[in-house]
Each structure stands twice: as C-alpha cells, then as structure tokens.
C-alpha cells in the first residue's frame, strides 16, 4: 500500500537553521521525497502530528497550502492505483504525482479525431459509419466527458433512449458497436485504462433481418414493364434488371464496374466489402442493357460515378445519394406493378435467392452463388470446388423462369 506523510527532512539544514518540508512516499520499504517549497525549524515541527506547529511564523499561510497539496497527492495516488493496480515502481508513482495534470481528451474529441484518421486513410465507408453513429449518440447524451465517465449505466441509459425513440435494434447495434470500437481504440492509445472498460458486461442486442422479396410473378411484371427511354425511371429499371441477372450484385459493386470487368462472356470483379473475386456468366438478356450504358463512354459501365470519385472524402455520401434516388425510382415502379413489398436494390438479391430455392437448388449452391455461407461452415469452405458451370446453369434456369422459357 502506498503511504504519504509530511516530513521534516533533517538531513539538509538551511543557512538559517531550518529544514525542508517534504512529502515522503513509501511502498514496500522504498521511499521517495516530493519537495513542498517550505521550510521549518525543529522547534516549529511536531513529530506527533507530522505537521508544523501553530507557533510557526507562517502557519496560517503554509498549513493551508500543505493540506491542499496533501489532498491533491492522495487523490492522485488513488487514481494511480486504479489505473496501474500492479505497478509497484516507487519512482513512477512519484513522477505521476508531480506531473502536471493534462486536460483529459473527451470522448467527443477522440471520436472526431478517429473520423478524420479514417478519411485520411481513405477508409471513407468506415468514416461515414463513425460519423453517422456519433451524430446519433450525441443527440442522446453529452460526450464532452472523459472516457472514465462511460460505465454500464451510461450505456444502458443510452440504449433505452434509442428504444424509446423507436430506433431499430440493428441501428442501435451499429451505433453501440461503433462506440465500442472507439473505446477500444482509446484504450490502445492509452487515453483510458482497460480497468474502466464498460462493455465487458454490456451485451449488444441483435435482431434478425427479414429478407424482403417479391414473388416470381411480381418479378416477371417488373421485367415486362414497358418504359420509354426518356422516362426518368428507365435507367433505374434497367439497373434493377441487371442486378437480378447478375445474381443480386451489390449496388456499389455494380456502380464501380468498368469495361475491364467484362472478360468475354463473363463479368469478373472484386467485391468491395469482402475483397472476394466473383466470376459471373453474363446472361444473354443482359448484353443489350450493358450496351445501352457502354455507349455513354464513361470510365465506369453505368456512368453514374467516375472511378476518381472512389478516392474522394465525399464518396460514401455520393454513393448513398445515388442509391437513394435508385431506390426511390424502384419504389415508384413497384407501385406501378402493385407489389406487396416495396422494391429496393436488396430485393433483387433476396428474390433471386428465393426463386432458386423454390426451384429446388441447394442452400449451399445458392450460398456460393451469392458469396456467403448457409448452415454448415465446414461445407462452406469447400464450396469453391463447385464448378462455375453449376452456378451459370442455375442462373440461366432462374432467368428462364422470369422470361417464361421454363
């Protein structure tokens, strides 16, 4: 246990016969002194109270300041023991006590700095998630506080506030997962000690996402829509059909495709989210749609964005806006054919999967086509052994269902 007491250091007498007053730190037989800047004679020092006597000529002034310093040091000792419970280095303790207290970096400051770091590292997608999560959290609580103030009760209260507001479970999960990631980074940067970690017993809730699909007949109606090229919905309609034909390709991946992605009759690209390579045989019906966009002579096939945009800070917002417009157009097209579910970009992926399942294809083969695993993870490891022709054939059969060939 660390002890602290005021002592008259009689080893070094001053010219006037007085001795320095010091605070003596003790731990496991080791000692270190901290100067107070004050002196006292033997006559004015009490070995019983370990303090100067009222007879000291400057008692009223010195005594008050000594007590204030003692309280400050005792507080810092408690702080040190919490942050470094196993550290018994007496010199380190002394250095900690006399170091000037730096202003603690607040959660808000650290979080904003992490957003900047992500943008500087060209991780724009993550930067947007961190930014949106911060905006959501600071609407509910003040983050201009040190990390030590965040505890289980703080997190639970924040979660309840989100629930009361009607925020979806998955959105709450995203905000709090981001909060946890920020806290973990603060620990790594020594901004806060692991001893204060509040997420140890705090469990994040999860809600299973229910895939939105439309029926086979509704998808047939979508494909058979008669739109004129000058319609504001025309290219969104073509894009939706293309997403379905390409086995539910992700919106971002589709936007980033270039002519170099087309190798003969196959589309080869790297999934932006996972970095996994995909090779999809381009259905016959998709060629005319690709030709429509390729005539625009942009450096991406669809021409909605330029490849240079990908490296800009505002790219996630640009992509988000493009996707918002696309989904708004799909919603209107869904109203035209009177679908029960609102049509969004994700609908094409889930509907393709659902139709393939209804046709009797295995979950494992469908999972391989979509690029993820269902059920048995061990089986998933070996799914790449499936011949691409099986997936190509499955996609052709699904397309045949839509255009009434099967």
Q: Which residues are 52's β-sheet partners? A: 45
pLDDT at 138: 96
- In the numeric block, the tokens 């550290």 are attached to 87
pLDDT band at 374 (very low <50, low <70, confident <90, very high): very low
Provide, rounded to the nearest whole percent, the portion of the chain with pLDDT above 70: 93
Q: What is the pLDDT of residues 27-47, one digit of tens each?
A: 999 999 999 999 999 999 999
Last residue within a domain, chosen from 44, 77, 98: 98
The residue-averaged pLDDT of 15-22 equals 92
The residue-averaged pLDDT of 127-147 equals 94
Last residue within a domain, chosen from 69, 98, 127: 98
Closest CA to 51 of 111, 100, 91, 8: 8
In-domain check, residue 210: no
Q: Is the pLDDT of residue 13 over 50?
A: yes
pLDDT at 405: 58
pLDDT at 307: 83
Q: Is the pLDDT of residue 386 over 90?
A: no
Higher-pLDDT residue of 391 and 274 is 391
Do residues 46 and 134 both lie within one domain? no
Do residues 234 and 329 both lie within one domain? yes
CA-based max dimension of the chain: 111
Do residues 156 and 15 both lie within one domain? no
Do residues 167 and 313 both lie within one domain? no
Do residues 299 and 316 both lie within one domain? yes
In-domain check, residue 204: no
Do residues 134 and 43 both lie within one domain? no
Last residue within a domain, chosen from 161, 196, 231: 196
φ, ψ of residue 346 in degrees (nearest 5): -70, -25
Do residues 73 and 54 both lie within one domain? yes
Q: Which of 133-142, 293-302, 313-322, 382-391 has the lowest mean pLDDT?
A: 382-391
Do residues 274 and 132 both lie within one domain? no
In-domain check, residue 208: no
In-domain check, residue 211: no
Do residues 111 and 86 both lie within one domain? no
Closest CA to 286 of 334, 254, 329: 254
pLDDT band at 23 (very low <50, low <70, confident <90, very high): very high
**What CATH number does residue 177 fall under?**
1.10.150
Domain that holds residue 283: 216-402
Do residues 384 and 257 both lie within one domain? yes
Inter-axis angle of helices 363-370 and 345-358, nearest 10: 150
Do residues 366 and 255 both lie within one domain? yes
In-domain check, residue 209: no
Domains: count for the chain: 3
* Burial 265-277, CB ≥16 within 10 A → b, else e: eebebeeeeeeee
Do residues 255 and 188 both lie within one domain? no
Q: Is the pLDDT of residue 385 over 70?
A: no
Q: What pTM value is reported for the model?
A: 0.61
In-domain check, residue 340: yes
> Using an 8 Å Cβ cutoff, are 87 and 27 in contact?
no
Tokens representing 227 are 């739109």
pLDDT band at 86 (very low <50, low <70, confident <90, very high): confident
Q: Which residues are 277's β-sheet partners? A: 270
pLDDT at 388: 81
In-domain check, residue 146: yes
Q: What is the pLDDT of residues 239-286, one digit of tens each?
A: 999 999 999 999 999 999 999 999 999 999 988 878 888 899 999 999
């Amino acid at each position: 246990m660390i002890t602290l007491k005021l002592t008259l250091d009689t080893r070094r007498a001053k010219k006037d016969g007085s001795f320095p007053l010091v605070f003596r730190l003790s731990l496991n037989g080791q000692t270190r002194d901290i100067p107070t800047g004050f002196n006292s004679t033997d006559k004015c020092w009490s070995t019983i109270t370990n303090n100067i006597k009222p007879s000291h000529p400057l008692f009223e002034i010195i005594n008050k300041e000594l007590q204030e310093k003692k309280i400050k040091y005792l507080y810092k000792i408690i702080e040190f023991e919490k942050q470094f419970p196993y550290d018994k280095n007496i010199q380190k303790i002394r250095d900690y006590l006399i170091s000037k207290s730096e202003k603690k970096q607040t959660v808000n400051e650290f979080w904003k700095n992490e957003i900047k770091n992500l943008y500087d590292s060209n991780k724009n997608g993550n930067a947007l998630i961190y930014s949106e999560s911060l905006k959501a959290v600071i609407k509910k609580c003040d983050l201009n506080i040190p990390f030590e103030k965040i505890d289980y009760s703080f997190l639970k209260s924040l979660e309840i506030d989100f629930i009361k507001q009607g925020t979806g479970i998955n959105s709450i999960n995203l905000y709090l997962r981001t909060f946890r990631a920020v806290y973990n980074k603060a620990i790594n940067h020594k901004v806060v000690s692991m001893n204060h970690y509040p997420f140890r017993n705090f469990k994040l809730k999860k809600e299973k996402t229910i895939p939105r699909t439309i029926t086979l007949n509704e998808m047939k109606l979508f494909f058979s829509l008669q739109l004129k090229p000058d319609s504001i919905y025309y290219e969104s309609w073509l894009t939706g059909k293309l997403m379905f034909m390409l086995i539910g390709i992700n919106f971002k991946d589709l936007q980033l495709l270039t002519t170099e992605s087309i190798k003969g009759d196959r589309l080869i690209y790297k999934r932006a989210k996972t970095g996994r390579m995909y090779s999809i045989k381009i259905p016959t019906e998709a060629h005319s749609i690709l030709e429509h966009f390729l005539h625009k002579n942009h450096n991406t096939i669809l021409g909605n964005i330029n490849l240079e945009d990908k490296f800009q800070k505002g790219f996630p917002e640009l992509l988000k806006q493009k996707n918002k417009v696309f989904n708004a157009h799909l919603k209107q097209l869904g109203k035209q054919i009177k679908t029960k579910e609102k049509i969004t970009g994700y609908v094409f992926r889930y509907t393709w999967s659902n139709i393939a399942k209804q046709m009797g294809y295995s979950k494992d083969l469908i999972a391989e086509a979509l690029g993820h695993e269902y059920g048995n993870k061990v089986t998933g490891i070996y799914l790449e052994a499936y011949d691409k022709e099986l997936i190509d054939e499955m996609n052709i059969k699904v397309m045949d269902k839509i255009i009434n060939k099967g």
